[in-house]
Amino acid sequence: MASGTEIRLSPGAMQITRAPALPLAGLVVGKPVREVAALLPRLFNLCRMAQGAAARAALGLPPETTTADLAAEVLRDHLAALFVTLPPLLGLAPARPPQSAIAQALFGMGGLPRNLPDLNLWLASGAGVSPLAQAVSRAFPGRMASAPALPAPNDPLADGPYDTSLAARRAGHPLLTALESERGRSPLWRLMVRLVDAEACLRGDLPAVTVANGTALAPAARGTYALRLTHAGGLVTTITRRTPTDHLLAPGGMLHHSLMGSPPALAPLVIALHDPCEPVTLREVRHA
């Protein structure tokens, strides 16, 4: 993960510049596999359980976490965004994330809307976090700030404008399919993706950690985290990792499209709704 990103907006153009990535090879190559498996989650502030699970899977070590543990970590991140981080950006008061009756706190008594008519009723109901969703809908009417559907990478470690986000995990949900047909992959759609994922986590519906062709894939709060660690003689020899934020911030990626389709004044909200896992500095360049 890079230590930070600068986004420069100018009329009709934008540039994303990421800071140099943490030199992970220098920290892990030559170290014992168990030491590296314990170290990697401590190097990053977010999704530590997912990163630890991926490291152990990539190194062939037995798991120390369950899919239920990962679902709880993902859900905590979603609740922090929905109750603490996002509301003030839309003029709403933050609140303490719920510790119980979570589905009711998110959706009210009716649960997650299942189709567009239900969604429209829910948006107007004031139930759960519907005031937040309604505020997003009003801030970005129609298809404003929507982004095209991007492909998944053939190689999960590939760099570029791919989709390894929550959208890739949940885009087939009937509500999201219907909403995309009406509003595109707009900020409201992105917010509902998070809510669909939160509801799934409450039911324990989260992909398991897998290993394919030497690369571990772990479900995380922003999508799918990919990690490859090779080792010989009990020591790590190489490391390669790719996060959903890497794909999100790539030139031509989801954030690029969404920012280009929204007024500069809404750029901070667009960024927050896409939720990169690193600090972002936004600069608006005005030409004379």
**Reduced to 3 states, what is the DSSP secondary structure of residue 217?**
strand
Paired strand residues for 229: 239
pLDDT, position 44: 82
> What is the percentage of the chain residues whose pLDDT exceeds 70?
98
pLDDT, position 10: 85
pLDDT tens track for 188-222: 999 999 999 999 999 999 999 999 988 999 999 99
Nearest to 237 by CA among 24, 64, 49: 24
Q: Which CA distances in Å does 68 have to 44, 71, 207, 213? A: 21, 5, 10, 25
Let me know: does 227 contact 56? Beta carbons within 8 Å.
no
Q: Give me the architecture of the 5-284 domain, per CATH.
A: Orthogonal Bundle (1.10)
pLDDT, position 96: 95
pLDDT bucket at 288, cuts 50 / 70 / 90: low
pTM of the model: 0.93
Q: Alpha-carbon distance 115 to 102, whole Å?
A: 21
Paired strand residues for 235: 32, 232
Q: Which CA distances in Å does 142 have to 11, 21, 181, 273? A: 22, 37, 11, 16
pLDDT at 13 over 90: no
Across the chain, what does the average pLDDT equal? 94
Q: Alpha-carbon distance 122 to 131, whole Å?
A: 9
pLDDT, position 61: 96
Instruction: Show the 3-state SS of 189-211.
Output: HHHHHHHHHHHHHHCCCCCCCEE
